[in-house]
Structure 1
Amino acid sequence: MSTITNVVLVGASGALGSRVLEALIDAAVFNITVLARKSSEAQFPSSVQVSHVDYASIAELTVALKGQDAVVSTVGGAGLMNQIPLIEASIAAGVKRFIPSEFGADAGNPNSAKLPVYQRSIAIHKALQEQAKVHPEFSYTLIRNGMFLDWGLVRQYHFAFSSETPPFYDGGDRPFSTTTLYTVGRAVAGVLGHLDETKNRVVYVHDMIVTQRQIMGIAQKFAPEKKWNPVTVDIADLVAKSKESYAKGVFDLNASIGFLCQAVYGEGYGGEFQNVDNELLGIPLKTEADLEELVRDAMSRSGPK
């Protein structure tokens, strides 16, 4: 398969997208175009081209994607199904590789695959598989990286620094894979540099495997005067609340917390990746010292959720 030169990034103004854009720029081997809504006023580095489009128009998207080698989507949950016309336009424009907005826990795990929060992602997976069979010149890669490490620390999802009674999900001892936003961007760049090895498959990557209790131990080093009394939260109770919210038609992040916690901390849900592609993608694992620095930074910046 030929090399990737021209890359389109969708969702580049978001928390993840901005860091993926940074990593792609740092790779210094891609011509990058950002796709943005016509109403978007987001600003991007001068080295990046910006194309404003109507995401609902396959014809307009096709024109914007002509001459592009790869499309990387980092859209949020609400925009996942908008990737369907983007996939169709990519094929019509001759795009070689499509990386959808996956970037989370192992939705391919048999237990996680049953969770309602992943059904739209799974629908995108199926669409990509079907299109790749019909159009052999078109391919895809799914990137799974567990929970976001730096983002989750600052927002106190991994550990509630500002609470005297932080929640420990099912006891706080479950190891889980986690990855910084910038490392996700490096994984994207790595996939685009290893097309044959990553063709039509899932790629797993993480910075490290941690536990909530481990994070609290580090936090105590930086705030020895702080007394935390963790409270064990039964994930089954959170799942029940998420089911109630979904039944009412509420599908935002807060409504999905129970399902997401189940995928990360639940036994048998694949939250701890057993095999990763870090070596293939040229991504070293982070150390305990790296984690300490991330926790220190998060504690200095995080406030109440």
Structure 2
Amino acid sequence: MSKPSVIIIGASGSVGRPLVDEFLSKADHFSKIGVLSSPSSAHKFENQKARGVDVVVGSFADPACYRGYDIAISLAGNTIMRLQPAMIDAAAAGGVTHFYPSEFGSDTAQDSLKNFRYFQDKRMTRYHCVATAKLHPQFKYTYMLTAPFTEWTIMPFHGVDRTTKKVVAYGTKDMPMDVTSLKDTVRYTVASTLLPFPEGQQKREIRVVGERTTFQRIVDTLAEVEGCQYETVYVPVEGALEKMDAARKAEDEEAELEWSAKGLLNSGDAIVDGPYDNERLDPTPPETVKQTFERIIRV
């Protein structure tokens, strides 16, 4: 079987950099590894280019940028998530036969999330994948469901202040949540591109989870690793929703998306149910929350 080629959209971000590194570590399995960059950002990829990455300079809406690639992986962030249908159209027109929309988190298809603003653009992208598959019989797509990144749960965005050792979290204490380290997420993602696609199917879901836990246990683990105590306060999620609505009325899309996501970790919806694909992708066990914190904090 010929080796696949892959191009990554949004490769300069916090997920893109380790994902490119993971692809490079498996470079023998790929005919070509590329990143799609705007002209203003091309300089960010000089190091990757020196390591053999093909830097394609252009627009994600230009089919020419995708020619010569089999697989395209979107790492679209919040405010450009809604532009993924344009990426899909261009990729399909450029010859891409396998597209990964930007999922990498909770399962968007959960009934409890059907009206959740943060996932609205992801759902629109899913509908577009279905429509594209009908138009292009050779087109396939993969939803990579990995649960929230372990490393991101202790960011200031989620109310964690590691300087004052205080946490202010929106939502309810001890709701279940799944997490997967970013390190494991990129490892599983690269492995999935080499997994044969199910015969006769155009859609597949890859489900991987590092650990099922709660936000409070994550904070407790952080405290254990740092050798300190954290003061944690939970506030009603309605406060975040009110600020989300205010941002919507002010037509501040970025703020609206951020406030929409504030209460997710403690909502009981930050989960990816099984069956899981961890072992068939890579038999190495995923990191636990404690192992991830010990690796990134290095106290």
TM above 0.5: yes
CA contact (8 A) 1:206 1:285 kept: no
- For residues 135-146 of structure 1, the aligned pairs below 5 Å read 135-146=136-147
Structure 2 SS opposite 1:185: helix
Of the candidates 233, 238, 241, which is equivalent to residue 236 of structure 1?
238
CA contact (8 A) 1:112 1:270 kept: no
- For residues 1-305 of structure 1, the aligned pairs below 5 Å read 5-28=4-27, 29-30=29-30, 31-40=32-41, 41-43=43-45, 44-45=47-48, 46=50, 47-56=52-61, 61-155=62-156, 157=158, 159-197=160-198, 199-224=202-227, 226-252=228-254, 255-267=256-268, 269=269, 271=271, 273-282=273-282, 284-288=284-288, 291-299=289-297
Q: Could you list the structure 1 runs, at least 4 aligned residues long, displaced by more than 6 angstroms after superposition.
A: none
CA contact (8 A) 2:171 2:263 kept: no
Q: CA deviation at 1:272?
A: 5.1
CA contact (8 A) 1:153 1:298 kept: no
Q: CA deviation at 1:22?
A: 1.3
Distance 1:283 1:249, change over 3 A: farther
CA contact (8 A) 2:59 2:65 kept: no
CA contact (8 A) 2:177 2:265 kept: yes
The residue type equivalent to 1:109 in the other structure is Q
CA contact (8 A) 1:4 1:192 kept: no
d(CA) in 2 for partners of 1:21, 1:55: 18
d(CA) in 1 for partners of 2:164, 2:276: 34
CA contact (8 A) 2:159 2:168 kept: no
Structure-2-length-normalised TM-score? 0.86
CA contact (8 A) 1:20 1:181 kept: no
Identity over aligned pairs, percent: 21
CA contact (8 A) 1:235 1:258 kept: no
Q: CA deviation at 1:278?
A: 1.3
d(CA) in 2 for partners of 1:285, 1:158: 29
d(CA) in 2 for partners of 1:270, 1:64: 35
Structure 2 SS opposite 1:71: strand
Q: CA deviation at 1:298?
A: 4.9
Question: For this pair of structures, how many residues does the alignment match?
Answer: 291
* Structure 1 stretch displaced more, 72-81 or 196-205: 196-205
Q: CA deviation at 1:74?
A: 0.8
Distance 1:174 1:3, change over 3 A: farther
CA contact (8 A) 1:164 1:227 kept: yes
Distance 1:195 1:188, change over 3 A: same
Structure 1 SS opposite 2:205: strand
Unmatched tracts of structure 1, length 5 or more: none
Q: CA deviation at 1:73?
A: 0.9
Distance 1:136 1:200, change over 3 A: same
CA contact (8 A) 2:177 2:212 kept: yes
CA contact (8 A) 2:170 2:263 kept: no
CA contact (8 A) 1:173 1:211 kept: yes
Structure 1 SS opposite 2:104: coil
Structure 1 SS opposite 2:15: helix
The residue type equivalent to 1:210 in the other structure is T
Structure 2 SS opposite 1:88: helix
Distance 1:3 1:263, change over 3 A: farther
